[in-house]
Amino acid sequence: MKKSFIYSVLMGLAIVLNACSSDSSDEEMQTNSESVQAVSNLVISGSWSITSYVDSGTDETSDYTGYSFTFNADGSLDAVNGSTMITGTWSVTSDDSSDDDDYNSSDDIDFNIFFSAPPNFEELSDDWDIVSRSSTRIELIDISGGNGGTDTLTFEKN
């Protein structure tokens, strides 16, 4: 009798703990979804400039001086400097794994940028983690899995 009571209590506790765990995951998924939408809405609301790009300790911000970046709602990305236009793509996604995510960010989302050319723009191609964001500034970080180098990228609204 005592064994079946203890077994019943343990089973009940396991069910309660499992239910709490599922609720937590649902809340995290909803929060991530809301964050993805909030960041997406933020970046499509105007044009942006790169105010800092540091590649493994080397400041390469000047490579992007004069470029205005427009994140379009269709996922296209335009970098324009006078008559020069470089096109790429962008997205904001929920980061559902930690295989590419060495940075412990507050939002578990990736800010994805892809350019196929020229080489200095290809360097921006990555799944960046968001360090911080405001209505006028987005700070991103990427920690390379290969060589362990850290890249940082900051966009500010024009």
**Domains within the chain, CATH numbers bracketed:** 39-157 (2.40.128.270)
Condensed to tens digits (0 to 9), the pLDDT of residues 3-44 reads: 554 545 444 444 444 444 444 444 444 467 788 999 999 999
Cα dist from 63 to 20, 46, 53, 82, whole Å: 49, 21, 9, 15
Residue 104: other Cβ atoms inside 10 A: 8
Contacts 24+ apart (CB under 8 A), 74-78: 77/113, 77/114, 77/115
Instruction: Read off the tokens for 90.
Output: 């962008």
On the question of pLDDT at 118 being above 60, the answer is yes
Instruction: Read off the tokens for 65.
Output: 């001086």
Whole-number percent of the chain with pLDDT over 90 = 63
Give the predicted TM-score (pTM) of the model.
Answer: 0.75
Residue 80: other Cβ atoms inside 10 A: 15
